[in-house]
Homo-oligomer: A and B are copies of this chain.
Amino acid sequence: MAASKEMLKRINKILEPKSIAVVGASQAPEKVGHVIVRNLIEGRYGGKVYPVNPKYDKLLGMKCYHSVLDVPGNIDCVIIATPAPTIPAIMEECAKKKVGGVLMLSGGFEEVGRRDLADAVRKIAETNSIPTIGPNCLGVFNPYNHVDSIFFPMYKLGRPGPGNVSFITQSGAVGSVIIDAAGYYGIGIAKFISYGNATVLDETDLLGYLAEDRKTEIIIFYLEAVKDGRRLLAKMTEVNKKKPILVLKAGRGAAGQSAALSHTGNIAGSYLAYQAAFRQAKVTEARSIDELFDLMRIFGQPPAMGKKMGVITNGGGLGVLTIDAVEEEGLAAAGLGEETIASLKKVLPSYGNIGNPLDLIADATVELYEKAIEEYMKDGGVDFIIICVLFQTPPMNERIVNVLVNAAEDKRKPIAVVSVGGAYTESYKKILESRGVPTFGSPNSAVKAIRKFIEYSKNMQKYTRKPKKTRG
């Protein structure tokens, strides 16, 4: 059932709260209720933090309240980290206190057969229009204001910087490790929401929130089971037109569906039905975590106007593998224009191969790369440029990074970089990623993501995203 308009209007109280109470705040360093208070204080959250636990008067040097009712002033967001059976009574107190919203982190509800507890919580939330996320989840993370209920230590699970990609995830584990990796790769995020059992607010409600969120430009969905598929489908169809939705659906096979059921207490249902719905909504489906990362990288690019791919390389074999992938994914190797060929002949040594892939060979300098990229940018027959660069060759130097960043910021055409190697190459790739250049470790994963991006570009002809400037 959809949450009330009243409730939906106030979801931002959870993601942009001016004050947070942590119920179940603890002095024991390994407890969830300790890690969260510590993360809020040691992170840079600027609002008020109220630890709540009847057992303590002080906690981490702060006054500890015995109940949310004892807290002076308003509470925008209450994070509850106490065992499931205690939560209905705490929710009653939250209602009395008229708090802005609630995050329930603890498990022990539908997924272990305690539907009674879930029903009690839902009733209180709905009666009092309290937007409530969870239970059985990691809650939220907002890098813009450092609201953070992820109870994994910061040194173990990195928090990404601000960006334009938002996450809605049913599994806290999958969601959190993905943002951990995303941050490591230099991908910034807007909002992270782990919603667990979806007892009150569900995926559709949260999608509606992100659709209106000004910081969010790309939406990532990790789904296991959906309660109201039709509602989600309608919302996805609408939102995907203005903000691309990338979805990873788990619980696809029989064993996976049964695992999903015991995970969040929801029935996954037929994967075929989900696939049909995704196709109908024209949302982009990733089939694996790696593919999701690949799509995140490429969906920040300017829209592709067609499927004619131009490949440039200083490592012959890498170009051959890339053009193979282009053909195997149903894209086309661009034919080069007469003018492009004439211009390239002037700058390329006799033993370079003018064609597509354009093999600049291992002698290629950064200057030659720069010229070749410019020729491909100007050639009307090339829709997308893939640059397969060996940073390892003797004449390459650090200026190649600048050339590639300029090509990505040029915006005349979408580009992607493919590069394989060890420590030296990885350091270059990290810089590129942090500057918003989509960078891949394999031709095939690059081309597969590009194909899906081109499909989306084609489906959404009205698709006009602003040049992104929000990475890293």
Interface pair A288/B252, CB less than 8 Å apart: no
Contact string against B for A residues 142-161, beta-carbon threshold 8 Å, 1 for contact and 0 otherwise = 00000000011101111000
A176 → chain B closest CB, angstroms:
7
Interface pair B255/A442, CB less than 8 Å apart: no
Does A356 sit within 8 A of B, measured CB to CB? Answer: yes
Does A355 sit within 8 A of B, measured CB to CB? Answer: yes
Which single member of B318, B328, B419 contacts A252 (CB below 8 Å)? B328
Closest to A155 in B: B424
Interface pair B288/A442, CB less than 8 Å apart: yes
Does A258 sit within 8 A of B, measured CB to CB? Answer: yes
Name the interface residues of A289-322: CB closer than 8 Å to any CB of B. 289-291, 313-321
Interface pair A359/B263, CB less than 8 Å apart: yes
Interface pair B158/A424, CB less than 8 Å apart: yes
Closest to A174 in B: B317
Interface pair B351/A30, CB less than 8 Å apart: no
Interface pair A180/B422, CB less than 8 Å apart: yes
Copies of this chain, tallied across the complex: 2
Contacting residues, chain B, for A262 (C-beta < 8 A): 353, 355, 359
Closest to A420 in B: B177
Does A444 sit within 8 A of B, measured CB to CB? Answer: yes
A346 → chain B closest CB, angstroms:
18
Interface pair B152/A393, CB less than 8 Å apart: yes
Which single member of B171, B255, B289, B421 contacts A443 (CB below 8 Å)? B289
Q: A171-B317, A422-B183 are in contact. Are A392 and B157 (CB under 8 A)?
A: yes
Interface pair B289/A321, CB less than 8 Å apart: yes
A residues apposed to B, CB below 8 Å: 30, 32, 35, 107-108, 111-112, 151-153, 155-158, 169-178, 180-181, 183-184, 222, 224, 248, 250-256, 258-260, 262-264, 287-291, 313-321, 323-328, 333, 350-351, 353, 355-357, 359, 361-362, 390-396, 419-426, 441-445
Q: List 28 A-B contacts (CB under 8 A).
A: A32-B394, A35-B394, A112-B351, A151-B394, A152-B394, A156-B393, A157-B422, A171-B318, A171-B320, A173-B315, A173-B316, A173-B390, A184-B421, A184-B426, A251-B320, A253-B326, A254-B327, A255-B326, A258-B355, A259-B320, A259-B353, A259-B357, A262-B353, A287-B444, A288-B444, A289-B420, A289-B442, A289-B443
